A and B are shown apart, each in its own frame.
Chain A
Amino acid sequence: MLKYIARRVLQVIPVFIGVTLVLFLLQAVIPGDPVKMITGERAMSPALRLQIMKANNLDKPIPVQYVIYVNKLLHGDLGTSYQRGRAVRDMLGEKYPYTVKLAFAAIIIEIIVGIAAGIISAVKRYSFLDVLVTLSTSVLVSVPVFWLGMLLQVFFGILLKQWSGGQIYMPISGAGGLSTDFPDWVYLVLPAITLASVSTAYAARIMRSQLLEIMGADYIRTARAKGLTSQAVIWRHALKNALIPVVTFIGLDLGAMLSGAILTETVYNYPGIGLEIYLAIGRRDWPVVMGGVVLVVVVVMVINLIVDVSYAFLDPRIRYGGAAE
Chain B
Amino acid sequence: MSKRTRTILAAALALSLVALAFGAAGCTPKRGGTASASDTPVKGGTLSYYVNEPAYIDPYNTQESEGTNVEQSLFDSLTAINPLTSKLEPAAAESWKANSDGTVWTFKLRKGAKFHDGTPVGAKDFKYAWERIANPATDPKNPSVISYHLSPVKGFQEMADGKATDLTGVKVIDDLTLEVTLTESFADFEYVVAHPALAPVPKAAVEKDPKAFAEAPVGNGPFKMSGTWKHDQYIKVVRFDGYYGTKANLDGIDFKIFKDEDTAFREFEAGNIDFTSIPTGKIGASKTKYGVSADGYTVNPKTQVLLGAETAVYYMLMNNTDPILKNPKVRAAISMAINRQALCDTLYEGTRKPATGIVPPGIVGFQPNAWAATKYDLQGAKKMLADAGYPGGAGIPEFSLSFNTGQGHEKVMELVGSDLAKIGIKTKPDGAEWAQYLKQLDAGTYQIGRLGWIADYPIFDNFINPIFQSKSGDNKSKFVDASVDSAITDARKITDGAKRIAAYQDMEKKIGEQTPVAPLTFYAHRHVGSSRVHNLIYSPMGLGAFDKCWIVAPAAKK
Give residues in A with beta carbon < 8 Å to B.
30-33, 36-45, 47-48, 51-52, 54-56, 80, 82-86, 91, 94-95, 109, 112-113, 116-117, 119-120, 123-124, 129, 150, 153-154, 156-158, 160-161, 165-175, 177-182, 186, 189-190, 192-193, 231, 266-269, 271, 275-276, 278-279, 284
Contact = CB atoms under 8 A, between A and B. Distances in A.
Interface string B1-28: 1101100110110011001101111111
A231 B4 contact: yes
Interface size class of B (residues with CB under 8 A): 35 or more
A91 B53 CA distance: 13
B447 to A, nearest CB: 19
B266 A40 contact: no
A124 B1 contact: yes
Contacts of A271: 230-233
Contact of A85 (B2, B141, B258): B141
B23 A189 contact: yes
A169 B26 contact: yes
Nearest to B436: A31
Contacts of A41: 438, 474
A33 B435 contact: yes
Contacts of B211: 86
B482 to A, nearest CB: 20
Interface string B233-277: 110100000000000000000101111000100110111100000
Interface of B: 1-2, 4-5, 8-9, 11-12, 15-16, 19-20, 22-30, 53, 55-56, 61, 63, 136, 139-143, 145, 148, 160-162, 211, 214, 230-234, 236, 254, 256-259, 263, 266-267, 269-272, 432-436, 438-439, 442, 472-474, 557
Contact of A36 (B1, B63, B271, B439): B439
A48 B53 CA distance: 27
Contact of A266 (B11, B140, B259, B557): B259
B145 A42 contact: yes
Given A47-B160, A186-B23, A276-B232, A85 B61 contact: yes
Given A32-B434, A85-B61, A267 B140 contact: no
B162 to A, nearest CB: 6
A-B pairs, top 9 by smallest CB distance, nearest first, are: A43-B473, A32-B435, A116-B12, A85-B142, A55-B140, A189-B23, A157-B270, A271-B232, A55-B141
B5 A123 contact: yes
Nearest to A117: B12
A167 B19 CA distance: 17
Nearest to B442: A43
A51 B143 contact: yes
Contacts of B259: 266, 269, 275, 278-279
Contacts of B160: 45, 47-48
A154 B266 contact: yes
Nearest to B140: A55
Given A173-B263, A174-B234, 7 more contacts: A112-B16, A171-B272, A175-B233, A179-B29, A186-B22, A190-B23, A231-B4
A21 B2 CA distance: 58
A284 B436 CA distance: 12
A150 B269 CA distance: 13
Contacts of B434: 32, 284
A288 to B, nearest CB: 12
A113 B408 CA distance: 42
B268 to A, nearest CB: 10
B19 A172 contact: no
Contacts of A54: 140
A260 B29 CA distance: 31
A47 B26 contact: no
Nearest to A160: B24
12 contacts: A43-B442, A45-B160, A51-B136, A55-B141, A95-B231, A120-B8, A154-B266, A161-B270, A170-B20, A192-B19, A269-B259, A275-B232
